[in-house]
Amino acid sequence: MELLQYILNHIEDVSTSAYDHARAAFSALAIPSGSLGRLEELAIVYAAAKGDVNHKIKHKKVFTMAGDHGVAVEGVSAFPQQVTMQMVKNFLEGGAAVNVLARHIGAKVIVVDCGVAADVTTLTPSNQCGNQALKIKKVGLGTKNMAVGPAMSRSEAIQSIEAGIEALEEELQDGLDIIGTGDMGIANTTPSSAILAVLGNVDVDTATGRGTGLNEESLQKKIRVIKKSIEVNKPNPHDPIDVLAKVGGYEIGGIAGLCLGAAHHRIPVVLDGFISTAGAMIANALEPRVNRYLIASHVSAEKGHKLMLKHLGKSPLLDLHMRLGEGTGALLGINLVEAAVKLLHEMATFHDAGVSKPCQK
């Protein structure tokens, strides 16, 4: 708790002066005012987060947080639990969608074992298929079944958040300008829906989607399991750590820690989809100042994601009907942020280009 409390006490708001300087810099560029739309917004948000209008993006990393869920025994996922470990192996071998997109934009994939129900230390990152690394921050061998009791203890919930902070801080020494969040964990849309229902005060039927592709019968079972989990555990909506402990996941806590740690170090966070945004909701509830460091990369096809983004006051950059997770959407978002920052830094001004300014009315 000491690390978490320190981070919470030392998150500062974004820089209003850098925000104003970035807006002024765009107004001097040889383009009609506002013509780059949300690209201007992204560059300004980045500058405000960094506290420096001249800060460029060199070091890009996506953190794919992995963990298993005891609630999987309730049949809430279309895939068996061992797929979590199998996909972690695929990430480390460079063969997953997140690896392809990371290579495409020149980012590093950091796979973090927050609570996989297997021994991940037997796996070795490949140096042949991209840039990826493994961090072991295991809180436990998967959470407990939240349908019959708390998913984890309060101390484990705090440990999972601190695991995300630690993973972030370990990467600072190699340089870190912007991060993306990602996830892997069979059945993790179930706790994410529960978090949305509790923290967002949303009906469970509205908060719950098909996850990895459930049929109607399985979807109704999933809804019943989430309702039962909330009834059994009675998570306190005014205590985000209690919500995480009662109906959350280790990797969701890890994502919350990433958001908090990044905000403390003035690093913008590009969120992926439904599970990543569940982690962001926990972080935002713990310290609202984290919100202005968050960028929503896309809106997931998962039913409740729009409601999560509305709760956080975020407008997604993309709508590609994606629902994969891993950090795939976050990487596309980072690519757009980097393009926006390059426009701010590399375009000529009206004066430099010898272009007449618009006539004042």
Model pLDDT for residues 178-230, shown as the tens digit of each residue: 999 999 999 999 999 999 999 999 999 999 999 988 999 999 999 999 999 99
For 64, 277, 285, 323, the CA distances from 303, given in Å and listed in that order, are 22, 13, 22, 10
Q: Are 7 and 165 in contact (CB under 8 A)?
A: yes
User: What pLDDT sits at residue 210?
Assistant: 93
Residue 11 belongs to a domain = no
For 96, 134, 150, 227, 240, the CA distances from 102, given in Å and listed in that order, are 10, 15, 35, 37, 32
Q: Which residues are catalytic?
A: 326
Residue 142 belongs to a domain = yes
How many domains is the chain built from?
A: 1
User: What pLDDT sits at residue 1?
Assistant: 82
User: Which tens digits make up the pLDDT trace of 124-134?
Assistant: 887 666 689 99
Residue 297 belongs to a domain = yes
User: What pLDDT sits at residue 351?
Assistant: 83
Euclidean distance between CA atoms 104 and 331, whole angstroms: 9
User: Which tens digits make up the pLDDT trace of 316-356?
Assistant: 999 999 999 999 999 999 999 999 999 999 999 888 888 88
Q: In what order do the strands lie in the sheet with 178-184?
A: 132-136, 108-115, 60-67, 178-184, 269-271, 294-296
Look at residues 179, 13, 11 and name the one whose alpha carbon lies nearest to residue 108: 179
Secondary structure class of 109 (helix, strand, coil): strand
Query: Which residues of the chain are under the pLDDT cut of 70?
Result: 127-130, 360-361
Q: What is the CATH number of the domain that holds 255?
A: 3.40.50.10210
Residue 290 belongs to a domain = yes
User: What pLDDT sits at residue 360?
Assistant: 64
Q: Which domain holds residue 162?
A: 57-336
Residue 301 belongs to a domain = yes
Q: Is-above-0.85 flag for pTM?
A: yes
User: What pLDDT sits at residue 213?
Assistant: 86
Cα torsion 328, 333, 335, 341 to 10°: value is -160
Residue 50 belongs to a domain = no
Residue 355 belongs to a domain = no
Is the Cα dihedral 297, 254, 135, 266 positive or negative? positive
Euclidean distance between CA atoms 268 and 135, whole angstroms: 21
Report residue 47 as tokens: 């500058």
DSSP secondary structure string, 59-94?
-EEEEEEEE--GGGGGS-SSS-TTHHHHHHHHHHHT
* Amino acid at the residue 12: E
For 15, 19, 150, 254, the CA distances from 159, given in Å and listed in that order, are 30, 34, 15, 9
Helix (H) or strand (E) run with residue 296 in it: strand 294-296
Residue 344 belongs to a domain = no
